[in-house]
Amino acid sequence: MTASSKLDRVEIIVICLCWYTTSSIASQITKQILTQCPFPLLLGEFQFLFLIGAAIITSNLAYHFKKFKNLFPNGTFPQHFDNDKKDGWKLYKDDWIIRRLSKDVVKTVLPLGIFQFVGKWFGHKATALVPISTVSSIKTTSPFFIILVQKLLRIKTKNNNMTIISLSLIIIGVLAIVKSDSKKFQEKAKAAKNSEGKIDLQAEHHNSKFIAGLLASTVSMLVFVFQNIYAKKIFTNDSKHNHQRVTRSRSNTTISDADDLDIPHSGHRRNPSLALPVFNSAMLAQQSRKTSDVAHNEKPTIAKTPANSKKYDKMTLMIYISLFGFLGSLGWFLYFELPSLLIGTYATRFNSMVVENNEIIVPWNLFFLNGFLHFIQAMITYYLLGKLQTLSYSVANLMKRIVIIVVSWVMMVDGNIGLLQISGLLLNIIGLYMYNVSKL
């Protein structure tokens, strides 16, 4: 291994640690915001606007400063950034800092924006009701629902005994985590009631509230599952003409996960020297199947990019998906949450009766910090997608989910992690690994 290769590996490890740290902190801040200010649509709208502004600023910096642009992998910014910049008028005549809005862009991105705001709202609603570890563990059941959707749509897939065993382990692991979280959450809610000496919804209405949170988590997960299916279909069809397309395994057209932020990404070359242990994500299994022989026995196929290529850079996707997500949820925000925000109070209800009127205090400092961390997560995700192989990225993404769950447990129960929680997490990890191996 050369010194350069070792340096690259150290760089990837450091960046992954930063990814895990920002993701864990962002999740905790989201929970804190929704506890202090239970307005999920307000938080979602703010995140959309912050991402749009941050992406535009970053794109401007990348266009005017080549060294800054070179910090990111190819495909992060529009291709015309590499053109001659002496003719400034040509940029605004032919294209903008991001790809110009067109019929094709709207047709492709509008459904993704709708998926985004619906999934984000249910995700925030779930985060406000149940522990973060519960929400994160529910997300890991996506392989089960992928198989279910494929069966309903009569899509032929490779399902063997290992697949069935892996799905069983995933479900059992999630049930163990949810059961343990429910018990710990109830104990914490009762303690809060006793210390404050007043009715606490978390204590008195725990079961119905926890069930509502589970349902919201499940709906959010299902929305993003269908978003992935849609994005995979759209970008797989378009990627047939992608420039420098190497193999199917290197044309990753699923959705990258950044907690509440899910942005589609198109394929590009990754550095094969930066491979982590082979692991195939559930969302990438179908694309990765039967590609190793092609990679070893065939030379890379290079196709010319036609003039009407529909390959979108990641910053353009982030901006337009956030824009359509913001517009899609704006009406709901104006109707459901803005009146309470204007009044300055919201009602706490118990058994359909108003128990207490609470003053609304919007923690804007946490809002800005939350938006900044989500943007950093997205940029780190794009960087890792450009540096790592698809399967290696899946390993890093799985580790991020584990870190979020463990940090949530530590924050929720003051470091008292039980055997049931650990057993559930281990079963979940083993099940996900077996599922992906079964799809190779």
Q: Per-residue DSSP letters for 134-197?
A: HHHHHHTTHHHHHHHHHHHTT------HHHHHHHHHHHHHHHHHHHHHHHHHHHHHHHHHHHHT
- Between the CA of residue 160 and those of 146, 397, 435, what are the distances in Å? 15, 25, 10
- Residue ranges of E strands in 322-395: 345-350, 353-359
Q: What is the pLDDT of residue 157?
A: 74
- Amino acid code (one letter) for 365: N
Residue 256 pairs in a beta bridge with 263
Start-to-end CA distance of the chain, whole Å, equals 28
Q: What is the pLDDT of residue 194?
A: 56
Residue 377: left (phi > 0), alpha (psi -120 to 50), or beta? Answer: alpha
Give the range of the structural domain holding residue 277, as residue numbers without chain letter.
3-438
Q: Report the distance separating Cα 342 and Cα 338, nearest Å.
A: 6
Q: What is the pLDDT of residue 191?
A: 61
Closest CA to 241 of 311, 315, 300: 311
- Amino acid code (one letter) for 276: L
Q: Report the distance separating Cα 304 and Cα 423, nearest Å.
A: 51
Rg (CA), the chain: 23
DSSP H or E stretch at residue 258: strand 255-258
Residue 416: left (phi > 0), alpha (psi -120 to 50), or beta? Answer: beta
CB 231 within 8 A of CB 255: yes
Q: What is the pLDDT of residue 52?
A: 96
Please state the pTM of the whole predicted model: 0.78
CB 267 within 8 A of CB 250: yes
Residues in the chain: 440
The number of folded domains in the chain is 1
Q: What is the pLDDT of residue 85?
A: 59
Q: What is the pLDDT of residue 100?
A: 79
Other CB atoms within 10 Å distance of the CB of residue 231: 25
Q: What is the pLDDT of residues 95-110, one digit of tens each?
A: 667 777 888 888 888 9
- Between the CA of residue 134 and those of 171, 172, 265, what are the distances in Å? 13, 14, 27
Closest CA to 100 of 360, 291, 289, 319: 319
CB 308 within 8 A of CB 238: no
Q: Report the distance separating Cα 167 and Cα 185, nearest Å.
A: 26
Q: What is the pLDDT of residue 64?
A: 85
Angle (nearest 5°) at CA 244 between 238 and 245: 50
DSSP H or E stretch at residue 257: strand 255-258
Q: Report the distance separating Cα 311 and Cα 435, nearest Å.
A: 31
Share of the chain above pLDDT 70, in %: 69
Q: Report the distance separating Cα 242 and Cα 92, nearest Å.
A: 25
What phi and psi, each to the nearest 5 degrees, are found at residue 71?
-70, -20
CB 384 within 8 A of CB 396: yes
Q: What is the pLDDT of residues 300-328, one digit of tens each?
A: 443 444 434 456 788 988 999 999 999 99
Query: pLDDT in tens for each of the 440 residues of the chain?
Result: 576 677 778 888 999 999 999 999 999 999 999 999 999 999 999 999 999 999 999 999 998 888 999 888 888 888 877 765 555 555 555 566 777 788 888 888 899 999 999 999 999 999 999 999 999 999 888 888 888 887 887 777 778 888 899 999 999 999 999 998 888 777 766 665 555 555 554 455 567 788 899 999 999 999 988 887 787 776 644 444 444 433 333 333 344 444 444 444 444 444 444 433 333 334 433 444 444 444 444 444 434 444 344 567 889 889 999 999 999 999 999 999 999 999 988 776 655 555 567 788 899 999 999 999 999 998 998 888 778 876 677 777 778 888 899 898 888 756 578 889 999 999 998 988 787 777 66
Q: What is the pLDDT of residue 44?
A: 95
Q: What is the pLDDT of residue 277?
A: 37
Angle (nearest 5°) at CA 67 between 63 and 71: 95
